[in-house]
Structure 1
Amino acid sequence: MNDTTSVLPGTRLLDGKVALITGAGRGIGAAAARLFAREGARVLLAARTEEQLQRVRDAVRADGGTADHVVCDLADADSVRGAVDRAVELYGRLDVAFNNGATGQPPGPMDQLSEADFDRVCAVNLKGPWLAMNAEVAAIRRTAGRGALVNTSSVGSLLANPALPAYGATKRAVNSLTASAAATYGPEGIRVNAVAPGTTLTEMLRAWDDESPGTIDRLNAQTPLGRAADPEEIAQAAAWLLSDRSSYVTGTVLRVDGGMWA
Structure 2
Amino acid sequence: MRLLNKTAVVTGAAGGIGQAIIRKLLAEGARVVAADLSADALKVFNDFPADKLVTFSVDVTDYKQVEAMVKHAADQFGQLDILINNAGIGLAKPLLQHDPINDFEPVTNVNQKGVYHGILAAGRQFQAQGTRGVILNTSSVYAQIASEMTFTYNVSKAAVDMMTKCAALELAPLGVRVCAVAPGRVDTPMLRQYEALGLWEHIRKEQMRQEFTQPNEIADVVAFLVSDEANCINGCTVNASDGFENFKYPLLG
Same fold (TM over 0.5): yes
Q: Deviations over 1:125-155 (max 9, x none)?
A: 1000001110011112222610111100111
- Whether the aligned pair in 1 keeps the contact of 2:140 and 2:157 (CA below 8 Å) is yes
Unaligned runs of 5+ in 2: 247-253
Amino acid at match of 1:142: A
Q: Does 1:81 align with 2:70?
A: no
Mapped pair 1:158 → 2:147: no
SS at match of 2:244: coil
Question: In structure 1, how many angstroms separate the alpha carbons of the residues matched to 2:101 and 2:2?
Answer: 41
What corresponds to 1:181 in structure 2? 167
> d(CA) in 2 for partners of 1:46 and 1:168?
24
Amino acid at match of 1:14: L
Secondary structure of the equivalent of 1:205? Answer: coil
Aligned match of 1:147: 133
Q: Which moved more, 1:135-144 or 1:240-249?
A: 135-144
- The Cα of 1:65 is off from its aligned counterpart by 7.1
> Residue in 2 aligned with 1:192?
178
Q: Which amino acid aligns with 1:213?
A: G
**Residue 41 of structure 1 pairs with residue 30 of structure 2:** yes
Aligned residues: 245
- Which residue in the other structure is 1:101 paired with? 87
Name the aligned partner's letter for residue 77 of structure 2.
Y
Shift of the 96–211 alpha-carbon distance from structure 1 to 2, 3 Å rule, reads: same
> Which one-letter code corresponds to 2:94 in the other structure?
P
Residue 45 of structure 1 aligns to which amino acid in structure 2? Answer: A
Consecutive unaligned residues in structure 1, runs of 5 or more = 1-11
- CA pair 136-57 structure 1, distance change in 2 beyond 3 A: farther
Alignment map for 1:1-262 (pairs within 5 Å): 12-58=1-47, 60-61=48-49, 66-105=52-91, 107-117=92-102, 118-143=104-129, 145-206=131-192, 208-215=193-200, 217-262=201-246
Tell me how far apart the structure 1 counterparts of residues 191 and 206 of structure 2 sit (CA, whole Å): 16
Normalised to the residue count of structure 2, the TM-score between the two structures is 0.93
Deviation, 1:70, is 0.5
Larger mean Cα displacement after TM superposition, 108-117 or 245-254: 108-117
Matched residue type, 1:259 = G
| AA at the equivalent of 2:196 | E
Give SS of 1:50's match.
Answer: coil
Q: Report if aligned partners of 1:94, 1:144 keep a CA contact under 8 Å in 2.
A: no
**Residue type matched to 2:236 in 1?**
T
- Other-structure match for 2:250: none
Per-residue CA deviations over 1:84-117 (Å, capped at 9, x if unaligned) read: 1110111110001110001112x12212121122
Q: Which 4+ residue blocks in structure 1 deviate beyond 6 angstroms?
A: none
- Distance in 2 between residues matched to 1:33 and 1:113, nearest whole Å: 34
Q: Is the 8 A contact 2:16 2:215 kept in 1?
A: yes
Partner Cα separation in structure 1 for residue 21 and residue 112 of structure 2? 21
Distance 2:237 2:148 in 1: 21
TM-score (norm 1): 0.90
Say whether the 8 Å CA contact 1:224–1:259 is kept in structure 2: yes
